Structure 1
Amino acid sequence: MTTNESIKQTVEQMLRGYLDEHHFELVDIEYVKEGSNWFLRVYVDKEGGIDIDDCGRISEYLSARLDEEDPIPQAYFLEVSSPGAERPLKKPQDFAKAVGQNVFVTTYEPVDGTKEFEGLLEAFDGETLTVRHGKGKRTSVIPLAKVAGARLAIEF
């Protein structure tokens, strides 16, 4: 039986060379069931932002590769898009690039008495995030190992 994780890894392997060659960044891959439908979602970006034509070219390339290799047993919808303004932060390099920006971080267990932090990512040293939050009055140092989820946050 094919697992969601193995499908995501297979899709990443299919895309890696193409994305590198065309200077795109793979942000995330999701393979999820919503209602009775399966969705394979690929989020990509590039310096200066990605447009609909870029998404179309990547979708055509990936669709052809998926048809050739047929690694997914059930029917699914393929979606290729930008990660959007509230881009997920998953890899260490994502956090490094987000320093100086507003973020929303959740943790597996409380850090400084809370599990949710929204504020300025002041620093990332590879192992910890330093987030100024609570109207800029508190600074918390969050171990990367305790981060359950993180994304850029739009400041209002």
Structure 2
Amino acid sequence: MSVRSDGDGAQRGRAEGGRLPREQAVAELTRLLEPEVARAGFDLEEVDVRPAGRRRLVKIVVDADGGVSLDDVSDLSQAVSEMLDASDVMGTAPYVLEVTSPGVDRPLTEPRHWRRAAGRLVVAPLTEGGQIEGRVVEADDTSVVLDVVARPAKGKGGPKAGSKPVRRTFAYAELGRGRVQVEFRRADDGAAPDDGGSADTAGADETRSPAEPE
């Protein structure tokens, strides 16, 4: 889920419309926002800045063990917007702020990502070659437990009926970037189809420019 709002860059000793290079803007935004996001009880997963016509899109991705609600995102969006308007990171050029939670296609690169994927089917490359597919049972700071899905040999058709997954523990050093797999139906619980990571979006239509008061 995500919330968008329009903002204006604050002038702090810059030329009119001055912009930082993208990499520098991302680094400064991360340094500015990470403590505030942590105080609010979330992890700052990603910061990105992209051109969006005459403005820029500032994308902030946050997550938490208990998930992120639309109210959480809305409150955090307001706090982040106020911080950006009070800083000089975005210069004077207008921008669009989007605060969102990760989609299902977010790569699993940190222990907390694997922990939050508990119950989901994932695929990950093995550092020694090949790949593994399994359902996340549990994860801690050093390893993840997967119910590994048995795959048939090439050209042998589908998995045998009634074949059971094998429970295995993998150190994170044995795995590359994991990916959650979209499942249209879980045979064990009849769950509704995954939405592929699409998010509900609430937008703010108000547009502000540096010359206009709020």
- With the shorter chain as reference, the TM-score category is 0.5 to 0.7
Would you say 1:152 and 2:180 are equivalent positions? yes
1:7-39 deviation line (CA, Å, top 9, x unaligned)? 223222222222222212222222234666532
After superposition, the Cα gap between the structure-2 partners of 1:17 and 1:126, relative to the gap in structure 1 and judged at 3 Å, is closer
Say which structure, 1 or 2, has more relative contact order (CA 8 Å, 6+ apart): 2
Separation (CA, whole Å) in 2 of partners of 1:49 and 1:127: 22
Q: How many residues align?
A: 151
Q: Find the counterpart in structure 2 of residue 9 from structure 1.
A: 27
TM-score, structure 2 normalization: 0.50
The alpha-carbon distance between structure 1 residues 41 and 71, as it changes in their structure 2 partners (threshold 3 A), is same
Aligned partners of 1:8 and 1:31 also within 8 Å: yes
Structure 2 alignment gaps of length 5 or more: 1-18, 152-158, 160-164, 185-214
Which of the pair is proportionally richer in strand? 1
Q: 1:151 to 1:28 in 2, by over 3 A?
A: farther
Deviations 1:93-148 (A, max 9, x none): 323554653224479x9932x7xx654357879788787454669x9x7975984x
Indicate conservation of the 8 Å contact 1:103/1:152, yes or no. yes
Q: Does 1:59 align with 2:77?
A: yes
Cα 1:145–1:15, aligned 2, differ >3 Å: closer, same or farther?
farther
Distance 2:24 2:174 in 1: 23
Distance 2:105 2:25 in 1: 25
Distance 1:127 1:53 in 2: 33
User: How far, CA to CA, are the matches of 1:49 and 1:95 in structure 2?
Assistant: 14
For 1:111 and 1:130, the matched residues in 2 are separated by 19
Larger Rg: 2
Report how far residue 63 of structure 1 moved.
Answer: 1.1
